Amino acid sequence: MLVIGLDIGTTGTKALVVDEKGTIYGQGYQEYGLVTAPGGQVTQSAKDWRNATVHAMQTAVSAVDASKIAAIGISTQGASMAVCDRVEDADLVYTWMDGRAVEQVKTLGETVGYDAFYQKTGWALFAGGDAAKLLWLKENGLFGGTEKLVSTLSYINHFLTGQFVSDPTNSAIRQFYNIQTQSYDSEILNHLGITEENLPKVQPTGSLVGGVLPDVAEQLGIPAGTPVFNGAHDQYCAAIGCGVTDVGDMMLATGTTWVVLGVTETPVYTSSGICPGVHPAGHYGAMASQVNAGSALKWFKEQIGDSYKEIDRVAATRGENCKDLFWIPYLAGAGFPSADPQKRATIHGLSLHHDKYDMARALMEGVAFEARRSLGEYQKAGMPIGRLMMAGGAAKSDFWVNVVAATLPEWELYISECADAAPIGAAIFALKGAGAIASLSEAPDLTRCRKVTPPSSGEVDYYKEKFAKYLALL
């Protein structure tokens, strides 16, 4: 059986055609841009989502007999919103990175309550959340009260099927949805002056949304009526794609931002702000994000002009040279577990005998140390941690994987062999919906992984000592 896993990300959309054995038969991708402006404005166009979806899916299905496409599943970025009278007319998107609603966060915190938002939605109030952005739009005369508030998932579901539908994970990060009652929160909606008529219907992740409309199917090159199964926030899709579905499973997604996501019996709330949510495979998720990770190394790579491969190769040889060199990687402020957007990166112990590869190693170690700090918060909360599944760009770096393994020696570390965990997770929703697999946790051929060879005792001791010194510098 062939299905499509579709991932609408922040800067591009990817489509994969896969079967239940994990074989990828076709893939397509199209990038789109972000528009930035003073005052923290970060916007994009919903039409870019639509056009990229068409291009990516056309490209992916061109490699197969399109009549054999049995279903579509969807993964999307969260907390990006368009405001329009008709869903199909959505254009200007206020993304999850948009920071103009800082004062509105304070207003909501002082009226509805900071803790109330966290307890209800699982997310601490933030300027990029749709609740704060909506209040900003109202105060600036850009929301009249009757328009539709369109999220990424609800826009793509509507484009494909005509149904204005979202899921619990995307609805919660928008900060309109109560994860305890698993419904829109009337207190929040009343305070914002909206009703459920403004919002997409919430259906369970993996439920049937509808069939692809005939005119859209013609554009995509697939059969009309192809069933579309409801998607989820991309990090939850990535967790499904990595096989992180059972209590105690933990994902370390190593992309632009490093994200930790575990599976728990009940919602987990902490003073550090772990974000609980409804996990598509049952139980709850617990998520936290490091702001500076892959993006920090990418920035440094661009400054020195070397390849990742060369950085990886040489940095691995610099252990002795770097034992007293530290880079606290807050190039865009500190993220979890001690969020502070005003903090900045610092380098400690730099001297004339160090070079760019020493600095790269210290930066990669600093990112791994922040992951260690993040997982420490999960331990403090009493969360069980069994398998730790590392996925994403850093999982391709032998050196970085070894640093993570030596920094986190008490857990079994696995590497996901899936390069595109989010669209694979979306494909798993489609396969389950189409009856090819029995449950989200029963897709071993799509969630393949390998166990990392445990580090030597010397490496563990090296990083135990260095991590202690790192903490003293914070």
Tens digits of residue pLDDT in 243-286: 999 999 999 999 888 999 999 999 999 999 999 999 999 999 99
Note the pLDDT of residue 69: 97
Report how far apart, in Å, the C-alpha atoms of 39 and of each of 43, 82, 459, 474 are.
12, 19, 45, 29
Note the pLDDT of residue 386: 86
CATH topology of domain 2-235: Nucleotidyltransferase; domain 5 (3.30.420)
pLDDT band (50, 70, 90) for residue 237: very high
Note the pLDDT of residue 291: 85
Residue 292 has pLDDT above 90, yes or no: no
Q: Give the C-alpha separation, 122 to 282, whole Å.
A: 16
Domains 2-235 and 243-474 share a fold: yes
Question: What value does the mean pLDDT of the chain take?
Answer: 96
pLDDT tens-place string over residues 327-362? 999 998 899 999 888 899 999 999 999 999 999 999
What's the pTM?
0.94
Domain ranges of the chain: 2-235, 243-474
Residue 419 has pLDDT above 80, yes or no: no
The answer to whether the bond into 337 is cis (omega within 30° of 0) is yes
Angle between helices 457-473 and 356-380 (to 10 degrees): 80
Residue 214 has pLDDT above 90, yes or no: yes
Instruction: Determine how many CB atoms are found less than 10 A away from the CB of residue 108.
Output: 24
- Residue range 298-325: mean pLDDT, rounded: 96
Enter the tokens of residue 32. Answer: 């789109």
pLDDT tens-place string over residues 16-54? 999 999 999 999 999 999 999 999 999 999 999 999 999
Torsion, Cα of 54, 56, 61, 66 (10° steps):
-20
pLDDT band (50, 70, 90) for residue 387: confident
Residue 211 has pLDDT above 90, yes or no: yes
pLDDT band (50, 70, 90) for residue 364: very high
**Could you tell me what percent of the chain has a pLDDT over 70?**
100
Q: Which residues of 195-230 are buried (b: 16+ CB within 10 A; e: fewer)?
A: eeebbbebbebbebbbbbbeebbebbbbeeebbbbb
Note the pLDDT of residue 82: 98
**Which positions ≥6 away from 178 have C-beta within 8 Å?**
120, 121, 184, 185, 188
Q: Give the C-alpha separation, 49 to 81, whole Å.
A: 12
Residue 394 has pLDDT above 80, yes or no: yes
Q: Give the C-alpha separation, 298 to 296, whole Å.
A: 5
Nearest CA among 155, 160, 181 for reference residue 170: 155
CATH topology of domain 243-474: Nucleotidyltransferase; domain 5 (3.30.420)
- Residue range 380-397: mean pLDDT, rounded: 91
pLDDT band (50, 70, 90) for residue 325: very high
